[in-house]
Amino acid sequence: MFTKSARLWLGLIAAASLLSLASSCSPKTETPGGDEGSTSTAPPASKGDEGTISGKISFTGAAPEAKKIDTSADAACASKNPNLVIEDWVVKDGKLANTFVYIKDGTIDGAKKIGDYTWPTPSAAVVLDQNGCHYKPHVLGVVVNQSISITNSDPTQHNIHFLATNVNPDWNQSQVNGAPALSHKLAHAEVMAPVKCNQHPWMKSYVGVMKHPFFAVSAEDGSFTIKGVPPGKYTVVAWHEGGVKGTEKTMEVTVTAKGAATADFAFGATAALSGQPSSLPMMPALEVPMGMKH
Ligand SMILES: [Cu+2]
């Protein structure tokens, strides 16, 4: 059957695969908003003095053209949503939608760093709908382990694919038209978990997974509000797709008791130009076996 050296090689290959499996079971976490793990401290009790962080996301310069998507590969998509356009940059009157804004770090007044607490996971699911052969919403946020209810509102089959990163694992499910909702949870904080449809290559979505509930997504008028923020000093980040792993803007924000802090961010033509509309960011990490990265 096998020569002695072939047997040796087979053994080595098996050992290497086991090693890489073992290391991929404990994914390296990049801790946006802190990460789960070391502590399980409940956050300080509410004093009823929480404030808000709100603002507008602007796009400076000429808005990138919203390119039309060729949906001819699926007649159901073409007839339901004939004017489907790429959603990489949704700009209206100089304001930018689909920006994920979150507290990355910071300290609650009289308490610890926000990432040192384990915030409760909301029991309500967040809905990610496949509707008109695109995702609604295009960008969404969840708390670690919060259910995402994936619905198919189209007269065609979709295949939702949460791409593996070095934070969260691969998850890939097809869903025929009329099928019940699927449910998925992400166990690790991540900015952003990329989602695509294996059936319709233009379909993309991004899910921000936070250890805490202090995040929001900018609406079509660029506005966002993060509610229920305990008074403190925070680093607030606005993330928008484009570039290799998206583009982030950072701001230091102080929230006073019952205060309304403002955090306006601006993205511009430079970030748009570095975007890669035809491919998903964060893909390069996929091909490298975990064992080789340490
Ligand atoms: Cu699809």
In this predicted model, what pLDDT tens digit does every residue of 113-129 receive, in sequence order?
A: 999 999 999 999 999 99
Q: For residue 63, report the distance from its CA to the centre of ligand 1, in Å.
A: 27
Tokens representing 70 are 């060729």
Sign, Cα dihedral of 233, 55, 132, 67: negative
Q: For residue 69, report the distance from its CA to the centre of ligand 1, in Å.
A: 13
- pTM here is 0.80
Q: For residue 175, report the distance from its CA to the centre of ligand 1, in Å.
A: 9
pLDDT tens for each residue of 84-115: 999 999 999 999 999 999 999 999 999 999 99
Rounded CA-CA distance 248/100 in Å is: 9
Q: For residue 283, report the distance from its CA to the centre of ligand 1, in Å.
A: 19
Q: What is the pLDDT, as a whole number, of residue 24?
A: 42
pLDDT (mean) for 48-77:
94
Over 80: is that where the pLDDT of 2 sits? no
Q: For residue 131, report the distance from its CA to the centre of ligand 1, in Å.
A: 9
Q: What is the pLDDT, as a whole number, of residue 27?
A: 43
Q: For residue 78, report the distance from its CA to the centre of ligand 1, in Å.
A: 12
Q: What is the pLDDT, as a whole number, of residue 202?
A: 95
Q: What is the pLDDT, as a whole number, of residue 34?
A: 45
Q: For residue 99, report the distance from its CA to the centre of ligand 1, in Å.
A: 22
Q: For residue 127, report the distance from its CA to the centre of ligand 1, in Å.
A: 16
pLDDT tens for each residue of 5-59: 556 555 545 544 444 444 444 444 444 444 444 557 999 999 999 999 999 999 9
Q: For residue 174, report the distance from its CA to the centre of ligand 1, in Å.
A: 9
> Strand pairing of 158-162 and 171-175?
antiparallel
Looking at every residue in the chain, the average pLDDT score rounds to: 85
Q: What is the pLDDT, as a whole number, of residue 8?
A: 52
Q: For residue 73, report the distance from its CA to the centre of ligand 1, in Å.
A: 11
Q: For residue 272, report the distance from its CA to the centre of ligand 1, in Å.
A: 25
**pLDDT confidence band for 4 (50 / 70 / 90):** low
pLDDT tens for each residue of 129-174: 999 999 999 999 999 999 999 999 999 999 999 999 999 999 999 9
pLDDT tens for each residue of 263-276: 999 998 765 555 44
**pLDDT confidence band for 248 (50 / 70 / 90):** very high
Q: For residue 180, report the distance from its CA to the centre of ligand 1, in Å.
A: 15
Over 60: is that where the pLDDT of 180 sits? yes
Q: What is the pLDDT, as a whole number, of residue 271?
A: 54
Q: What is the pLDDT, as a whole number, of residue 40?
A: 77
